[in-house]
Structure 1
């Protein structure tokens, strides 16, 4: 069991020793000079050691007092830093985001959120998969799925609109990607190992002679898109997430139209956290960014997070 003197006595001594004045210590602690003096005396009696030599006009620390001051100042600073860190962390927004959404859409824009000093700092974790607010310390998430998470509030951000994308070089080969029939002559680049996206797009577009299981599989959409930009094949992606890449012609959309996969990205959080200031401010900002993104793209994608 720790042998720790009363905290008020420790605080009174530490303040007195720093200032070498009972009066200044009393002002700092908002108590009377007599109270400070009594606390210091009680600490000396508790320890059985003289800490401060009291002279008529000034105070001097004994060797024991110097040792106590050093240790207590470090300890109180450590406590203050810990409290500040915990408070700051509590005011942060702990956000889990699907990797593709984070890399392609959120991270390029997130600096605009944090430029506003009134906004919380976003502690961002990226990964694929689901979220468990019971087992993990997250305030909210932007998660890929069908919007069905029992017990959670789920607000649609983007519906997934699948489109193939490629480099300009693939538009000029012997089998240019201006005709769906030429797709079978090119390598498919998959953003996940299950090949799901290409499979549903090929089926929806009745593309014949194309094996959805051929090609290269990547762990993330970002990696597949980079391979496509270097001419290694044709990737499948989400139109809503790659407006910037299409606008800059870093990637091209060889075939018109898009296919809604039935999936999407949702802003999810426990209902009991709906009124948290961190979540409200992020939702408001996200709604504005989505509106701006939609306006710049000039397309009617469903984007429905609301700051209300």
Structure 2
């Protein structure tokens, strides 16, 4: 019935090259050489008797026939992947993209709970401040983003709105009763698209602090506070573990303010994935209890 179809591997290679618009990028995703990708594409074109790509000096573009095949290949491989995952009893991998601070201070300390509930799913956490292209990179199953949330879309789900507070070690607060005598620690975002959150906003220009220390990652701010270096202006979500363990304490609850939002992005290739659904449900439940 399907004897006329080309080998599945050639379709897989073609789909990656079509989605990424690059033989080199497809080779990196598939862990093969660009030459191997080029050979597979050429063999597929010879078998079909039509060109699928227009080769240009520094780029490739799909032909009309290539566009048709790319859409069909993507849908077919997506459906096949979902079914294989659903019926398989072997361990599967879920790759999550998120910020370094959220991973280090909230997610990783809690992942053991998810593993106990779902021992067949291995979670790989990919961090960085550069946003991954989730539609092109099918190795990433979902992403947790941070910033201003502009309303739910089909693939964007609000997780939690953070509260900002002031935190330091109990010992530091005992020896620095007045905030004007303390070292004040804040985050200066590496991502300039994020709105500024600073001590100036909290204290006002008439009480401009004299001693401010800045880091470009929130988990560095928290680590500085844990080391007894000052009072940190950070998300209450990220200091949960430190508060529960008594390593940090809150300076003054009257200084709390609404911060930004953590939200989930589920790319099209993951929307029917069972492992993604399991992780999403666990994440929302955990944040509802501990958010």
The answer, yes or no, to whether TM exceeds 0.5 is: yes
Counterpart for residue 268 of structure 1: 265
Measure the CA separation in 1 of the matches of 2:91 and 2:117.
18
- CA shift, 1:252, in A, is 1.1
One of 174, 182, 186 as aligned partner of 1:186: 182
Matching of residue 224 in structure 1 with residue 221 in structure 2: yes
Provide TM-score, normalisation by structure 2: 0.59
Provide TM-score, normalisation by structure 1: 0.56
For the 8 Å contact 2:91–2:122, the answer to whether it is kept is no
For the 8 Å contact 2:135–2:268, the answer to whether it is kept is no
- CA shift, 1:192, in A, is 3.5
For the 8 Å contact 1:147–1:154, the answer to whether it is kept is no
For the 8 Å contact 1:151–1:270, the answer to whether it is kept is no
* Structure 1: gaps spanning 5 or more residues: 1-86, 177-181, 295-308
Alignment of 1:38-53 (within 5 A): none
Counterpart for residue 32 of structure 2: none
Counterpart for residue 198 of structure 2: 198
RMSD, matched Cα: 3.0
Structure 1 residues 111, 265: CA separation in 2 closer, same or farther (over 3 Å shift)? same
Measure the CA separation in 2 of the matches of 1:138 and 1:158.
22
Q: Deviations for 1:274-297, whole angstroms, at most 9, x for unmatched residues?
A: 221121010111122223325xxx
- CA shift, 1:150, in A, is 9.5
For the 8 Å contact 2:135–2:267, the answer to whether it is kept is no
Measure the CA separation in 1 of the matches of 2:114 and 2:236.
23
**Structure possessing the higher radius of gyration over alpha carbons:** 1
Structure 1 residues 88, 190: CA separation in 2 closer, same or farther (over 3 Å shift)? farther
Counterpart for residue 138 of structure 1: 140
Measure the CA separation in 2 of the matches of 1:88 and 1:264.
36
- CA shift, 1:265, in A, is 0.8
* Structure 2: gaps spanning 5 or more residues: 1-87
Counterpart for residue 112 of structure 1: 113
